[in-house]
Every structure is written in C-alpha cells, then in structure tokens.
Chain A
Amino acid sequence: MSKGARLVKPASYTALILLLFSIPLFVKGAYPLHVLIMVGINIILTSSLRTIATTGQISLAHAGFMAIGAYASALLMMKLGLPFWATFLIGGIAAALIALLVGYPFVRVRRVYFAMLTLFMGTVIRLTIMEWRDLTGGTSGLLGIPPPNLIVIPGLLNIAFDSKVPYYYFILVLVLISLLFLYRIDSSRVGRTLLAIQQGDFVAESVGINVTNFKVFAWCVGCFFAGIAGSFYAHYIRVLTPDSFGVMQAIYIVVYMVVGGRRRFSGAILGASIFTLIPEVFRGLKEYQPFVFVGLLFIVIFFLPEGLVSLPEKVRARIRKRRGISLGQS
C-alpha cells in the first residue's frame, strides 16, 4: 500500500473525531444533543454486549448490569457524598464484580441456558431494586440524582454540568475510550481467542486455551462497561426507575447488536446508532414505532443475516457478479 493510501484510514478517523467534537458548535438545541448522548450510551452498551457475544454467549442481563452501575453510582453520591469521578468508576466495578460472582457457574453451561440464566439475572436485579425500597426508592424511583461535580482546573477550566453540552463531551470521550479498549480486545490475540472459543471450544481447550477464564473475562469486561454506561446515565437523566432496566430493554440491546451486525466491530456501533435514531425519526408513529424496529429486524434476519454492516460488501459482491456475467457474455 502506498504511503498515501495508508494514511487514508487514520486521516478519516481523525476527521470524524474532530467533527464529533465540533458538533455542539453548530447544533444548539438541547434535544438533538440529547439524542446524540443517548446514541453514545447505546453504543457503549451494544459494543460491550458484542464483546460478551464474541464467545457465542448472548447475555440478556445487560440492562440489569446497567442498572447496577446506575444505582450504585447514584446512591454512593447521594448517601455517602462521594465525588462523581469515584462513583462513576465504582459503578462499573460493582457491575463487574457481580458479574464475576455469577460468572464461573454461568459460563460453563450451554449457550441456551446461558441466555436464560442471564434473562433471570436481569429480572432478579430489577426485582431486588424494586423490593429494596428504602435504599432505591423502589418502583417510585430514585429522584434528584446530582449531576457530576464541577470540573475545576484553577485558572483554566470551570465546567459545570448545567447544560447538555458538557454531558455531550463527556459521553463522547467516554465512548471513544471505551471503543478503543473494546476494539483492542477484539483485534488482538484476545479477540482471536474469544472467537475461537465460539467456533470450537473443545479445539480451543486442546491447544491450551483456558476457555472458562476467557469467557469469564469477556463477560466481566462487557458487564463493566454496561455498569459504566449506567453510571453516566444516572447522573445525566437524574432519575432512575427499575422499569428502565427490564427484560425488554435487555432484548433491545441484543437486537441492536444483531441487526447492526455481530461479526464486525462497527456493526454494534451501527446498530446502536440506527435504533436510537429510529424512535426520533419516526416519532410521529408513536405506538407504531416498534413495527419499524421489528420490520428492520426481520429484514436483516431473513435477507442480511450478517447485519446491516454487511450491506456494502453484499452490494459490491452483487455488482461484481453482474459484471462477471456480462463480461462472460461478451
């Protein structure tokens, strides 16, 4: 590859990042920024779910772990007065630790069982939140969660989280860091190993891969980021109810991942973006919205099994085929 060609990719990524950073300069409304922030949260959720899914395990507990991060971070700040920067990380760590607790028994079972056990787990988490009313406010919710603390660098910065803009930048940075981390996992030897485990775990074992440990690792990393997303969400929305973290939400994240395309890393990003934007674009449809959602899902499942992200290559392959045929004919 020529030197110029090799620069195209990093150049376009840099351009994209610069664009993303400059968005608040020309997008002024609170609502569009809110949508972008939600896209960011969903990207973290979907990409981290994908990491777990690389080993072939579909988790239906992701919303539950988001809840753990959310409530942990909110409560630590409200009850113990810890600063956001601590509670935010602790939220993620709490999620990871609980994931670790159930990790070893969970990953050893067949994939069908794993899906069902995680479905369970998500429900148990939600029920615990509902039942522990004194702590979490139960079904009426946890209200008045404080925003992140001021960022003060004397003489330089004084940022208060009093408008959408600081939140936007925060989630942007968070998404970039998270995606970088998850991408490194995916594209390194670790990702190869996880994929190998999905394709043939007994083969993987026989060449010395500790399948159980790797599965638990992917599981805990995935749940960590769900927790982190939850922590941010708590201090952004500032109200938490257990209903936001139910079975349907967990299922939606899986759908985002599958429709976007599980195979490629960008698939999760695409899926999360599209599905966060759909309700906004199709706002007018109100209760008919899920039909668009399901429609896309079935189109992908029946015609594009590798997800929307595979569309460009499928189209290219079609074109090549057509060209090949016409060349043959001449």
Chain B
Amino acid sequence: MTLALLAQSILNGLAAGWVYVLLAVGLTLVFGIMNIVQFAHGEIYMLGAYCSYFLIKLYGFSFWEALPLSALLVGLLGIVLERFFFRPFRGRFEPSIIVAVGLMVLLQTTAVVGFGTSTKSMPGIIPGVLSVSGITLSWDRLLAILVGIVLVTALFLLIQKTKIGQAMVAVSQDTDAASLQGIDVNRISAVAMVVGCALAAIAGSLMGSIFSTSPFMGTSAITKGIAVIILGGLGSIPGAVAGGLILGLIDGVVPPLLSSTMASIVGFGVIIIVLLLRPRGLFGHE
C-alpha cells in the first residue's frame, strides 16, 4: 500500500469515525438518560441526510446552512418522539424496544414511499482536495472531522458546565434520586432526544454528502451505532468517541487492504476481544 493510499485511507477512516461518533454519542446519551436502545436512531440519521438533501435541492440552501437547519428540524422531531412514543413506556424494557423497532420500520417505510428507493447524491460540502507533499486529502473528509470534533467538544462542555448538562448527568446516574432532587426527568429526556437526534441528523448529512443518501442507510447505521456503544460502553460519551474512531479507522483502512466485509468482521472481532477483557466496554461502568 502506497503512502498516499494509506494517508487517504486513514483520512477516510477518521472521517467515517467522527460520523460514527456523532451517531453513537446521541445513541449512548439517550441510553444513559432514558435507558432505552433507540433502535430508530439509524432512521433519524437517514432523515437528517434527506432533510439536508431537500433543503439544498428544493430550497437552495447551501450545505452549511442546511446542516444546522436539518439538525434543528430533526431535533424537533425528537421532541415528538420522546413525548408520544417513548415516554409512555419509560422504564419498561420490552415495550421500549418494540416501540423503537416499530418507529424504525415506520420511518424507513415513509422514506421509501416518500423519496423512492434510489440513492441520491448530495451536493458536496466543499469540492476539491488539499495537497500535502504529494498526498491528496479530500476537503469534505477533513471538514467532517472538524465538524465532529467541534460538536463533541461543545457537547462535552455543555454537559460539564451547564445546569442542564449536570442534570443530565444526575439522571443518567440515578433517575429516582434525580427526580427527588427536583429535576424534571421528562424534560431532561426530551433534551437528550433533541441532542441525540440533532447529532444523528448532522452525522447523516455528512455521510450523505461524502457518500450517498438512501432510505436504507439507517439500517447499517443503527448496527454500527450499537457496535460503537457496545465497544465504548453503554452510556459513556468518551466511550462513544473511542469506539467510533476505532471502528471508523478499521472501516477506512481494511477495505483497501482486504474487503469491506472483512472490515466489518475485523470490527466485530475487536469488539468481542474487548468484551472478553472488559465486559462493560472500554469506558463502561455500572
């Protein structure tokens, strides 16, 4: 493998990795606070991609305008989902899974029916490449990495420094104790959903623009998202970052060397090894 190819593969891996991170952070956040595995999270990611696509295609927004707008719109959807689909079943394991799964099918079918099954390509973020000593690095990947770093850092600061953030920490540690302290658990859950959905929408938009957008991109996303949070540890944001980057790099570097299915197998292999050594995941607790 040439140096140029290696550099590009690593860049691809990091870009994919940060997209996975954005996806998984939302998933792990919702898990930590609402104690559910939001199986429809992948479809939210997909909807984010389509939202950006239509904002650009139909309303003429630029990608950088569409991105936050899509995050906002999908975030608002998150409020609806929390209020009407997840709140009634809070604390109950099985109904929560079934509802999430039902939403998954609902959203995916809506997309298939509404948008058609063909893949769409989204007008790129920034075309062109950066050349560094003979190695070409695509700008869109670089910017995906930047967006990822900025957003995750912002989230981290939100959690550490704001009252809402601290309330989220409290709820994720002990829901009953938190509500006894006067924290409105329902509100915090809504916040978690909004943040999670917004991040997923951004992840989807980035992925959709770097690669392509299809109504089925959510299914592979949720599998990837679950893989990342199992690797990183359920409920742990640092874990989502670590897990996302590890799996992203694998997905960047292994396919040129072997094949893309081998990349998935290697990824699963890594997860199984980590679980054998640390059953709670890299950063998991409880």
Which positions in A face B, CB cutoff 8 Å? 58, 109, 111-113, 115-117, 119-120, 123-124, 127-128, 130-131, 246-248, 251, 254-255, 258, 262, 287-288, 290-291, 293-294, 297-298, 301-302, 305
Contact = CB atoms under 8 A, between A and B. Distances in A.
B37 A109 contact: no
B226 A116 contact: yes
A247 B259 contact: no
- The SS class assigned to the A binding surface is helix
Q: How large is the interface on B (under 10, 10 to 19, 20 to 34, 35 or more residues)?
A: 20 to 34
Contacts, number: 87
Given A123-B223, A294-B106, 7 more contacts: A116-B226, A251-B104, A255-B105, A287-B113, A291-B113, A297-B105, A301-B102
Contacts of B39: 251
Nearest to B93: A111
Contact of B106 (A123, A127, A291): A291
A144 B261 CA distance: 25
B155 interface: no
B265 A301 contact: no
A248 B219 contact: yes
Given A120-B230, A131-B259, A290 B93 contact: no
Interface string B216-230: 000100010011001
B97 A124 contact: no
A-B complex: 3 closest residue pairs judged by Cβ atoms: A290-B109, A131-B261, A297-B102
B186 interface: no
Contacts of A111: 93
Contacts of B98: 254-255, 258, 297, 301
A294 B113 CA distance: 14
A19 to B, nearest CB: 33
Interface in B222-271: 223, 226-227, 230, 234, 259, 261-262, 264-265, 268, 271
A112 B262 contact: no
B95 to A, nearest CB: 6
Contacts of A113: 230, 234
A58 B261 contact: no
A131 B262 contact: yes
Contacts of B93: 111-112
Contacts of B6: none
Nearest to A257: B98
B178 interface: no
Contacts of A298: 99, 102, 106
A7 to B, nearest CB: 38
A293 B109 CA distance: 11
Contacts of B104: 251
Given A290-B105, A301-B98, A302-B88, A119 B261 contact: no
A115 to B, nearest CB: 6
B146 interface: no
27 contacts: A58-B94, A116-B226, A120-B268, A120-B271, A123-B264, A124-B265, A127-B265, A128-B265, A131-B261, A247-B219, A251-B101, A254-B98, A254-B101, A255-B98, A258-B94, A287-B109, A287-B112, A288-B113, A290-B105, A293-B105, A294-B105, A294-B109, A297-B102, A297-B105, A298-B99, A301-B95, A301-B102
